[in-house]
């Protein structure tokens, strides 16, 4: 029996760790050829080797998503090496928190650059391939990693929450243009997932709160989110799982 995603050509940003890495691994297991994008080449090479050892196909493309030229080069490399992309998962992101009054403008800029500008740049770089795939009658998907933070109100997380609200609203609006072209947009809004994301926090209050949650409740895993991406991508072409909120059962 063919695998549910065989014939698909996937691109996953943030594939060096966490949700992106788990998603890339699962998409390859389900039959997709996968391009792995992030900045840490060694991590991407390791994952590409693991995918091919398991009988799948993956290529490592070190890219900083805040660099549009690097994204354009990556898009050309994907087309040349594994074919026209029809499934783009934009998972690259960063979460840095502190009271607004501390004015850590460089951290705000980094989140805006990665979570919003980088995500928009990723979708832009692969739009010609998605359009071409859809026009040829193939299923075409964009999956964006927003967060429950897109609607949550949380002290010290204002900029992170704002970038995620922008990602969710971008999806709602882009759907009006992409839907008629046959390209689906799925916005994922997870609650707490146990990944490296928390390790970049140096604000003790935010870090203690999140680590406390991770220790006291059964939080989501990156594999849980990967399953949702693979499920959404395997739906028939007329079905767009447009927005998926997923929380640990014990997260309020």
Ligand X SMILES: NC(=O)c1ccc[n+]([C@@H]2O[C@H](COP(=O)([O-])OP(=O)(O)OC[C@H]3O[C@@H](n4cnc5c(N)ncnc54)[C@H](OP(=O)(O)O)[C@@H]3O)[C@@H](O)[C@H]2O)c1
Catalytic site residues?
160
Judged by CB under 6 A, the chain residues 66 through 85 that form the site for ligand X are: 66
Which CB atom, from 34 or from 133, has the smaller least distance to ligand X?
34
Q: Is 34 in the site for ligand X (CB under 6 A)?
A: no
Query: Residue 39 carries which DSSP code?
Result: S
Q: Give least dist CB 30 to ligand X, A.
A: 19
The answer to whether residue 120 forms part of the interface with ligand X (CB under 6 A) is no
Query: Which one of the spans 51-59, 73-81, 173-181, 194-202 is the region binding ligand X (CB under 6 A)?
Result: 194-202
Q: Rounded to a whole number, what is the distance in angstroms from the first to the last CA of the chain?
A: 41
Q: Does 60 bind ligand X (CB under 6 A)?
A: no
Query: How open is the CA angle 141-161-34, to the nearest 5 degrees?
Result: 30
- Among the residue ranges 177-185, 187-195, 201-209, 228-236, the one whose residues contact ligand X (CB under 6 A): 187-195
Do the beta carbons of residue 47 and residue 24 sit within 8 Å?
A: yes
Closer residue to ligand X, CB minimum distance, 66 or 242: 66
Least spacing, CB of residue 7 vs ligand X, in Å: 26
Which residues sit opposite 38 in a β-bridge?
Answer: 62
Interaction of residue 197 with ligand X, rule CB under 6 A:
yes
In the complex with ligand X, the residue whose CB is nearer, 118 or 182, is 118
Q: Which helix (H) or strand (E) holds 38?
A: strand 33-38
182: contact with ligand X by CB under 6 A: no
CA distance 232 to 184: 10
Residue 56 within binding range of ligand X, rule CB under 6 A: no
Q: Is residue 168 involved in binding ligand X (CB under 6 A)?
A: no
For ligand X, which stretch binds (CB under 6 A), given 97-105, 125-133, 188-196, 242-250? 188-196
193 binds ligand X, rule: CB under 6 A: yes
Using rule CB under 6 A, residue 16 touches ligand X: yes
Q: Which stretch binds ligand X (CB under 6 A): 16-24, 46-54, 101-109, 239-247?
A: 16-24
Encoded tokens for 85: 């992309």
Q: Decide: 123 and 65 in contact? Cβ < 8 Å.
A: no
Q: Between the CA of residue 104 and those of 100, 149, 200, what are the distances in Å?
A: 8, 19, 14
Helix axes 119-135, 158-178, angle to 10 degrees: 20
DSSP 184: E
Nearer to ligand X by Cβ, of 31 and 118: the residue is 118
H/E run at residue 77: helix 68-81
Closest among 15, 62, 57, 3 to 34, alpha carbons compared: 57
Q: Count the Cβ atoms, other than its own, within 10 Å of residue 28.
A: 26
| Contact footprint for ligand X (CB under 6 A) | 13-14, 16-20, 38-40, 43, 63-66, 91-95, 114-115, 118, 145, 147, 190, 192-193, 195-197, 222
């Amino acid at each position: 029996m063919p695998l549910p995603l065989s014939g698909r050509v996937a691109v996953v940003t943030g594939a060096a760790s966490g949700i992106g890495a788990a998603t890339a691994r699962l998409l390859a297991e389900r039959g997709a050829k996968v391009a792995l994008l992030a900045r840490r080449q060694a991590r991407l090479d390791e994952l590409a080797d693991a995918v091919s050892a398991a009988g799948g196909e993956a290529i490592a493309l070190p890219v900083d998503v805040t660099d549009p030229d690097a994204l354009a080069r990556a898009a050309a490399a994907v087309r040349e090496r594994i074919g026209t992309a029809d499934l783009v998962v934009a998972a690259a992101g960063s979460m840095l928190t502190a009271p607004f009054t501390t004015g850590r403008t460089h951290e705000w800029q980094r989140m805006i650059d990665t979570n919003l500008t980088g995500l928009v740049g990723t979708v832009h770089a692969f739009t010609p391939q998605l359009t071409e795939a859809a026009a040829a009658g193939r299923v075409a998907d964009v999956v964006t990693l927003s967060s429950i933070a897109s609607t949550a109100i949380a002290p010290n997380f204002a900029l992170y929450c704002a970038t995620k609200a922008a990602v969710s609203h971008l999806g709602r609006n882009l759907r009006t243009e992409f839907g008629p072209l046959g390209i689906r947009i799925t916005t994922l809004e997870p609650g707490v997932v146990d990944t490296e994301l928390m390790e970049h926090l140096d604000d003790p209050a935010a870090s203690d709160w999140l680590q406390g949650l991770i220790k006291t409740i059964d939080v989501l895993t990156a594999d849980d989110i990967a399953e949702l991406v693979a499920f959404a991508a395997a739906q028939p072409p007329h079905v767009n799982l447009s927005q998926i909120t997923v929380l640990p059962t014990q997260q309020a």
